[in-house]
Amino acid sequence: MPGIIVTRRDLDFLFHQLCSTTAVLGYLFRVADLPTVALGEEPVRYYELAAADLDAPPGAIDFGIFGPGAQVTSVPQLPQAPAGDDDSQAHHMIRIILEDLANSPLQEPITEADRLTVLHDVDRLPVSTRAEWGHLLLEMLDDVPHVPDGHCKWRFRRHLNDDGMRQLIFGAATRYAPDIQGSFSAYVQLRHHEVTERTGGAEEASTLGVLFTPRHDGYRPWDTTMVRTYGPSQLTDEELQLFDETWNHSGGDLADETSTLPQPRQHGPGIAPDSA
């Protein structure tokens, strides 16, 4: 098995540069197969790989996964500037989400091992896209309360890893209620079914959905609800028809969806808008 030795200073550099445990581990696995460098020289190798990622051509992508109209913006896997350097507040949103999920009470049969899996799924979000995601989430939370009485507005952003096996969905809705939670669960299950039908990799596939609903009591800015499904779709024909009619044809009350497809350049991922 390949191995790598780095100094504490090298690790400090990597965590400062990437601000992500998953990204740091991914980098270490990536360089473990490369020729060794002198201790303390890891930053030099990092910037060499970051420059190579920047020049690498975008990878192939299956636009059909998210339907017509999808667009892809390619970004390098390793950022040359420290993560969040362009907007630390927006980038910090992902950290807040991770802390929300880490501190949320668990309900049976969910275990702490499941929590770690969820945190890993969120932390896989490409480092170079996190500030943009943070901006969008803040805008979504500001937007969804502004609807006529009796309506619920939904906003979504979806991301599919470059292996096509892990899908991440962030959503915002006007309010929290049991029916809102049920509708979001239906949305996550439907999108999981659609992607696995397209990719044919149901056994290894997973979809994590995180829903944010604004609070107005001054206690905290939003509530966080999580839904995760994995493996082959368990939807019946009747459920699939109902969820499809609700989310793909009626628009789920007031709905707007943006999808992201990674276009690796390594090396590295990207962003794709799509309306639903």
Residue 221 resides in a domain: yes
Q: What pLDDT score does 237 carry?
A: 97
Which residues constitute the domain of residue 26? 1-55
Identify whether residues 124 and 203 lie together within a single domain. Answer: yes
- Residues 105, 227 within the same domain: yes
Rounded to an integer, the average pLDDT of 263-275 is: 39
Asked if residue 196 lies in contact with residue 237, where contact means CB atoms within 8 angstroms, the answer is no
For residue 81, tell me if it sits in a domain.
Answer: yes
My answer on whether 124 and 162 are in the same domain is: yes
Residues 13 and 99 in one domain: no
Report how many domains make up the chain: 2
Residue 87: per-residue pLDDT: 72
3-57: pLDDT as tens digits: 899 999 999 999 999 999 999 999 999 999 999 999 999 999 999 999 999 998 8
The token pair at 154 is: 């939904």
265 and 130 housed in the same domain: yes
Among residues 27, 55, 83, which one ends one of the domains? 55
List the structure tokens of 110: 């969910």
Q: Are 14 and 101 contained in the same domain?
A: no
* Residue 252 confidence (pLDDT): 55
Give the tens place of pLDDT for each residue, 153-199: 999 999 888 778 899 999 999 999 999 999 999 999 999 999 999 88
- Asked whether residue 276 is assigned to any structural domain, the reply reads no
> Do 102 and 127 sit in the same domain of this protein?
yes
Q: What are the tens digits of pLDDT across the range 87-145? A: 778 889 999 999 999 998 888 888 999 999 999 999 999 999 999 999 999 999 999 99
Same domain, 44 and 95: no
- Say if residue 135 is in the same domain as residue 235: yes
- Same structural domain, 150 and 211: yes
- pLDDT of 272: 32
CA gap 5, 10 in Å, rounded: 10
pLDDT at 73 over 80: no
Specify whether 126 is located in the same domain as 10: no
140 and 80, same domain (yes or no): yes
